[in-house]
């Protein structure tokens, strides 16, 4: 039996929602502009409809389920 808990994920793909990033990163958007994370955990938009891109603003919830990210 393995000892200790499994390691914590640093990147979490949330079904239907954003990608969580733990720690400090610079996310480059589609226009090549870099955006530095400012929080212990950040959420990167995956539905491409966020008004605060590249960060998630919850807009995916307003989409019908079939249009949300897998």
Site residues for other proteins, 1-40, by CB under 8 A, read 5, 8, 12, 14, 16-18, 20, 22, 38-40
> Are the CB atoms for 20 and 12 separated by under 8 Å?
yes
> Are the CB atoms for 35 and 43 separated by under 8 Å?
no
Among 25, 27, 35, 58, binds other proteins (CB under 8 A): 58
Cβ at position 30, least distance to other proteins in Å: 19
H-helix or E-strand spanning residue 13:
strand 11-13
Q: Which residues bind other proteins (CB under 8 A)?
A: 5, 8, 12, 14, 16-18, 20, 22, 38-43, 51-52, 55-59, 61-62
């Amino acid at each position: 039996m393995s000892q200790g808990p499994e390691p914590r994920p640093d990147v979490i793909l949330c079904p239907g929602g954003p990608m969580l990033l733990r720690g400090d990163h610079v996310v480059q958007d589609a226009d090549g502009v870099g955006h530095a994370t400012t929080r212990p955990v950040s959420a990167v938009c995956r539905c491409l409809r966020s008004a605060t891109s590249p960060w998630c603003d919850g807009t995916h919830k307003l989409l019908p389920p079939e249009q949300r990210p897998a």
